[in-house]
């Protein structure tokens, strides 16, 4: 066990993939849309126990390769869910949709986030580990969590009311994973044991443990005087009517990206507010002038600083002491890298210009002739490919352009 996490909860998958740790688990909903198929296990009113839901999810994922393809960068040890989702709050009993109004709730990502929106609840996506702080400071009035959270996060003194639903208001899915290189270094005999215990046996055991924790949380709620009520049939029917669309569409899938596409070059003057830059084949294209023109060096410097800080921190934990605040600084640098690097993907230089344009580059610049720069939305075939799960062909590959 490491002395502290090497990444924030939403980044655990990448941390295992990149070898920052060997084994970990993550909540699939913390990165909405990344594991879209597996979110089927999170739909409302699905199952009464974590064990049954966990086994069902593991069986479905093992049977259909497209599910496991979402985790191709890691070794999957188990997929499982927690117990039925419950509405906890510190203000009043929730017995109808109207009772949700005026209250602020912490939710996880994925389907539960969409459930909150469809119920017109005021929700904020935060990790479950922050529940105590959010409730104790009054930032949130309640949380969407299973019954076990009452004891796990010690919120029994902070909430007064809990509303349960048959099958759960939602379920959150989890992934237990291992770095592929670390898995490959295990002796063959031990790998066989890992494989034997992974999958359904591990998922069943994890689900069963969550069920036991749910019973423990219910006992703590009773001892603490928390008023636990079961949603009435009228309330359940109202919720079903609101979330019915999720059964058809799931959580909202990521839309196909509108990749910028170089259009056919024309003898048009470049816009006044444009800085021209040369592609590797000599075609000059207008690009909006902004701070983004200086962003590639900034992104590179921030990335280099983050890599150096991570290296020093990891070596420090191994041989000396860790660098105080290294994780927070790394996250801040990541934000800088992301936002300063956006202009790098905001447009694609026209590399399809004919070789004859190279000879006339200087003249084109002087006369203002340049390749026009446009951005087009994905074609209908790309959108349908996205809906079917296929990877749409990059639209710019079909673009043919030549400077004139």
Q: How far is residue 366's CA from residue 218's CA, in Å, rounded to a whole number?
A: 77
Residue 88 has pLDDT above 70, yes or no: yes
pLDDT of residue 357: 41
pLDDT in tens, 257-288: 333 433 434 334 334 333 333 333 344 444 44
pLDDT range class, residue 59, cuts 50, 70, 90 = very high
Q: Where are the domains of the chain?
A: 1-246, 260-398
Least confident of 153-162, 169-178, 184-193, 337-346: 337-346
Residue 337 has pLDDT above 90, yes or no: no
Mean pLDDT of 64-86: 94
Residue 220 has pLDDT above 80, yes or no: yes
pLDDT range class, residue 3, cuts 50, 70, 90 = confident
pLDDT of residue 382: 43
Q: How far is residue 361's CA from residue 358's CA, in Å, rounded to a whole number?
A: 5
Residue 70 has pLDDT above 90, yes or no: yes
Reported as type and span, the H/E element at residue 235 is helix 233-249
Residue percentage of the chain with pLDDT more than 90: 49
Structure tokens at 12: 């655990």
* Residue bearing tokens 């590959």: 397
pLDDT range class, residue 342, cuts 50, 70, 90 = low
Mean pLDDT of 54-83: 94
User: What pTM, to 2 d.p., does this model score?
Assistant: 0.60
Q: Which CATH superfamily is domain 1-246 in?
A: Bacterial extracellular solute-binding protein, family 7 (3.40.190.170)
CB atoms under 10 Å from CB of 301, counted, come to 14
CA dihedral over 192, 193, 194, 199, signed as positive or negative: positive
Q: Which residue has the higher pLDDT, 295 or 24?
A: 24
pLDDT of residue 280: 37
Nearest 5°: phi and psi at 83? -75, 180
Burial label for 319, CB within 10 Å (0-12, 13-18, 19+), is: exposed
Reference 30, options 199, 135, 174, 132; nearest CA is: 174
Q: How far is residue 28's CA from residue 402's CA, in Å, rounded to a whole number?
A: 45
Structure tokens at 121: 């609840």
Residue percentage of the chain with pLDDT more than 70: 70
Our measurement of the distance from residue 206's CA atom to the centroid of its chain's CA atoms, rounded to an integer in Å, reads: 22
Q: How far is residue 163's CA from residue 146's CA, in Å, rounded to a whole number?
A: 10
CA dihedral over 117, 254, 244, 58, signed as positive or negative: negative
CB atoms under 10 Å from CB of 65, counted, come to 9
Residue 185 has pLDDT above 90, yes or no: yes
Q: How far is residue 88's CA from residue 48's CA, in Å, rounded to a whole number?
A: 18
Residue 202 has pLDDT above 50, yes or no: yes
CA atoms within 13 A on the CB side of 237: 3
Residue 386 has pLDDT above 80, yes or no: no
């Amino acid at each position: 066990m490491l002395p502290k996490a090497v990444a924030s909860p939403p980044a655990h998958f990448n941390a295992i993939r990149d070898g920052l740790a060997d084994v970990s688990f993550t909540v699939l909903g913390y990165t909405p849309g990344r594991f879209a198929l597996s979110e089927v296990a999170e739909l409302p009113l699905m199952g009464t126990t974590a064990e049954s839901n966990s086994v069902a999810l593991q069986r479905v994922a093992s049977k259909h390769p497209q599910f496991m393809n979402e985790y191709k960068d890691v070794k999957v040890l188990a997929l499982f869910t927690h117990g039925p989702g419950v509405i906890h709050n510190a203000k009043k009993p929730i017995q109808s949709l109207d009772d949700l109004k005026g209250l602020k709730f912490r939710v996880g990502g994925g389907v539960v986030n969409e459930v909150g929106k469809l119920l017109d609840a005021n929700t904020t996506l935060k990790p479950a580990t922050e529940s105590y702080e959010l409730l104790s400071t009054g930032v949130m009035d309640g949380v969407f969590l299973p019954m076990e959270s009452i004891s796990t996060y010690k919120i029994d003194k902070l909430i007064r009311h809990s509303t349960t639903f048959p099958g759960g208001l939602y379920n959150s899915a989890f992934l237990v994973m291992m770095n592929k290189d670390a898995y490959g270094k295990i002796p063959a005999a031990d790998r066989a044991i890992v494989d034997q215990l992974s999958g359904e046996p591990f998922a069943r055991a994890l689900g069963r443990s969550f069920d036991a924790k749910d019973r423990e949380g219910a006992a703590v709620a009773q001892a603490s005087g928390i008023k636990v009520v079961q949603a009435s049939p009228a309330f359940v029917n109202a919720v079903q009517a609101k979330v019915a669309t999720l059964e058809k569409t799931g959580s909202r899938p990521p839309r196909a990206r509108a990749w910028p596409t170089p259009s056919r070059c024309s003898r048009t003057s470049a816009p006044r507010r444009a800085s021209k830059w040369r592609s590797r084949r000599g075609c000059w294209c207008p690009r909006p002038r902004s701070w983004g023109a200086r962003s590639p060096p900034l992104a590179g410097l921030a990335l280099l600083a983050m890599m150096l800080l991570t290296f020093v921190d990891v070596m420090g934990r191994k041989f000396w002491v860790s660098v105080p605040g290294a994780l927070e600084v790394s996250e801040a640098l990541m934000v800088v890298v992301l936002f300063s690097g956006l202009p790098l993907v905001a447009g694609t230089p026209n590399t399809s210009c004919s070789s004859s344009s190279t000879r006339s580059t200087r003249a084109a610049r002087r006369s203002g002739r340049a390749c026009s720069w446009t951005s087009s939305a994905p074609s209908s075939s790309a959108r349908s490919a996205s809906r079917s799960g296929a990877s749409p062909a990059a639209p710019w590959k079909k673009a043919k352009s030549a400077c004139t």
